Amino acid sequence: MRIGVITFPGSLDDRDAARGIRIAGAEPVPLWHGDHDLQGVDALVLPGGFSYGDYLRCGAIAAHSPIMTEVIEAANSGMPVLGICNGFQMLTEAHLLPGGLIRNEAGAFVCRDQRLRVESTNTQWTSAFEEGEEIVIPLKNGEGGYIADTATIERLEGEGRVVFRYLGANPNGSINDIAGVANERGNVVGLMPHPEHAVEPGFGPDTAAAMRSGVDGLRFFQSVLQTVLA
C-alpha cells in the first residue's frame, strides 16, 4: 500500500508521518503542495507544522494549494485522508471536515503527552482501536480549540462522528473536549494530537511499562492498511 504525505511550505512533521507509515508496513510517498499529481497513492496524510507561517489563519492558505484540488476530489471519491494538527486545520478550511480551530483557550502553545478516549472505530483510520479505549498521543499546538455552531456539534455527536475526545484536562478549550472528528463517510479524519510521534518504542510517550514506550499512534496507520487492503 502506498500512502502519500504532502509537504507544504512550513510542514514540520512530514518525515515523522512517513516514518510511521513505513513502520506500519506501507510505502510512504512524498508529495509536493505545488503539484497536481497524487502519484497513484491509496491514502493521504496532511502533516502537522506551520504551513505558510500560519498567516491569515492556520491552514487557510494551504487549503488553496494546487494539490488540494486533487485532495478534495480524492476525499470526495472515498480515499482515506488523515489531517494531523495543521493538516486538521487544512481539512476544515477546505470544507472536507466541519467546524474550525482557534487559538488555545489559555492563549499559549501547549506541548504534552495527551490522554484521549477513542469514541469511534467506524473510520478508515481507527478500525484497529476499541471503542472507549484510552490512549496517549503527543500534542503540540497553539491553535487547537475546536469550534462549530450548535447544530453542527449536535450532528457530529448524534452521528458518532466525534472520533477522539480529550481526557483529563482539556488542553485548548475545544467544545465538548473534542480532539478529532470524521466526515460522514468515515474516510476523512482530522485530529490535533500527533500519532506519528507515538509509533516506535524509545521515542513515544511514557507508559506504565517503560519510559518512552508508547506506540498508540502506530494503529492509525495500521488501521488504514487493514481497511484498504481488506
DSSP symbols for 169-180: S-SS--GGGEEE
Contact call for residues 44 and 74 (beta carbons, < 8 A): yes
CA-CA distance, 5 to 167, in Å (whole number)?
A: 29
Nearest to 184 by CA among 62, 48, 75: 75
Let me know if 64 is a catalytic residue: no
Let me know if 196 is a catalytic residue: yes
CA distances from 41 to 29, 64, 87, 92, 223 (A): 7, 21, 18, 22, 16
* Joined grid coordinates for residue 168: 483529563
- Identify the active-site residue in 85, 119, 197, 200: 85
Q: Note every long-range contact of 173-180, with CB atoms under 8 Å and residues 24 or more positions apart, other chains counting.
A: 173/104, 173/105, 173/106, 173/145, 174/144, 174/145, 174/146, 174/147, 175/146, 175/147, 175/148, 178/146, 179/114, 179/116, 179/146, 180/88
CA distances from 67 to 39, 40, 174, 216 (A): 11, 13, 29, 30
- Identify the active-site residue in 70, 93, 196, 200: 196
- Identify the active-site residue in 33, 194, 197, 200: 194
Signed CA dihedral, 18, 22, 23, 24: sign only: positive
Catalytic machinery residues: 85, 194, 196
